[in-house]
Amino acid sequence: MIGYLIRVLGEENYGTITWVDSFIQYFLILINFGFDLYISKNIVENKDDKAKIDEIISSIYTIKALLFLLSFILLVPFIFISGTQAYFFLFIVMMLMGGGEVLFPIWYFQGIEKMKPITIVTVIARVFLVIGTFVLVVNNDHGFRYVVLLVISNLIWGGMGFYFLKKESNFKFLKIPLKTLLFYLKEGYLFFLGKFSTLFLNFGTIFLIGYFCSKSLVSGFDLASKIVFAFVFVYEVIQQAVFPSIVRNKRITFMRKLVLLTFMMGITFALITYCFSEKIMGVLGGNEMTKYSYLLKQMVILIPAIGISNIVGSCALVAFGSLKQYNFSLIISCLAYMSIVLFLYLFDQMYFENLIFLRIGVDILMACLILFFSIKNKILFSHKLPGQN
């Protein structure tokens, strides 16, 4: 569908939408607050305690709703401070995607190890978006139609997810004391920083390319990165499926085999993508986008790097209690990224090529840090938990 949008809307229009979306994603990260990992672990540990589950669900929805409101409050001054008033309405409409983020309860279903409802909801929302796009977005003046479809599909995604949550848990919404809300925020803030650090690299790069280079280059980078992340999505599905089991049973031998499989898959995916990069870009983006095939070749290293970060980070460090080291790895990588961006800005070196190499280098740094801590803590090697296989 990316290729269709680029061909129909044009590189500039599609790049503009992607550029605005890249900033909105920061607010969606704020609303999510890293609950996908942190609260999933809590659900696993308390899934037989109905009162505790009601407290957790009520707390998370209360916090997310408040963060959604805060996001709108922060967005408006940013638009004027950054001088992007020309896109004011686009920013506001796309911010409505936060409603879906508030409602979507992947953290609950991941915790109870029942992902079928989430799969159903995701497929329905995406099919709606795809069909709506092909039917309603047919020329380069229909960019806003696509944005509206994107928002509606996101709300369908969140609304149906909430429906299945209510049906599955039959939870009772509770009025949560401020002290309890602050407890969950305090416990989750490291996961928020970690999640922010991870996604900051991609969305930050998109925003910087659009701001300092051009919206057309955003289209090229976005297509290449989406191809890379299509492979990374495989790791995310695996992580969501096995994480609760690893947390509960501490299956360290299984986890090590999973890491090895992840690495081998990553290398294989990267080699295939490298060899057929021009054809892939042409099929997905049209002949005009083959000029960015060199970019895809440069970025294939991210497939094994991000795969290792995802699987080792969650299934090794987080699952075995090394939460601080996991988030430290992400935060250090993010700080390195921001420091180098500042250096490039001060020395007038905010060029497309520099931003791409920075993006790749920092992800490799992150993978190395996560591997270092997993080895240092004797999780990946020379460590066996008593009674575990």
Please name the residue that has the structure tokens 């929805």: 61
Nearest Cα neighbor of 344 from 352, 324, 143, 197 is: 352
Contact 362, 337 (CB under 8 A): yes
Cα 243 to chain centroid, rounded? 17
How many other CB atoms sit within 10 Å of the CB of residue 343? Answer: 12
Supply the pLDDT for residue 194: 66
Using DSSP, state whether 389 is helix, strand or coil: coil
Question: What is the tens place of the pLDDT at every residue in 15-69?
Answer: 899 889 988 988 998 898 878 777 877 888 887 788 888 999 999 999 999 999 9
pLDDT of residue 198: 66
Distances (CA, A) of 187 to 42, 159, 181, 202: 11, 27, 10, 26
- Does the pLDDT at position 268 exceed 90? yes
Give the residue-averaged pLDDT of 366-376.
89
User: CA–CA separation, 41 vs 250, rounded Å?
Assistant: 13
- On the 0-12 / 13-18 / 19+ scale of CB atoms within 10 A, 179 is exposed
Q: What would the mean pLDDT of 124-146 be, rounded to a whole number? A: 93
The confidence score (pLDDT) of residue 389 equals 46
Maximum mean pLDDT: which of 149-163, 173-187, 244-258, 283-297: 149-163
* pTM as predicted: 0.74
Segment 83-93, tens digit of pLDDT: 778 889 999 99
Binned at pLDDT 50, 70 and 90, residue 382 comes out as low
Share the mean pLDDT of the chain.
86
Take residue 71 and report the two structure tokens written for it. Answer: 């996001």
Comparison of pLDDT for 122 and 240, the residue scoring more: 122
Q: What is the pLDDT of residue 29?
A: 87
pLDDT band (50, 70, 90) for residue 386:
very low
383 pLDDT more than 60: no
Say whether pLDDT at 162 is over 70.
yes
Per-residue pLDDT at 320 exceeds 80? no
Confidence of residue 272 (pLDDT cuts 50, 70, 90): very high
Average confidence (pLDDT) over 297-312:
89
Q: What is the mean pLDDT of residues 281-300?
A: 90
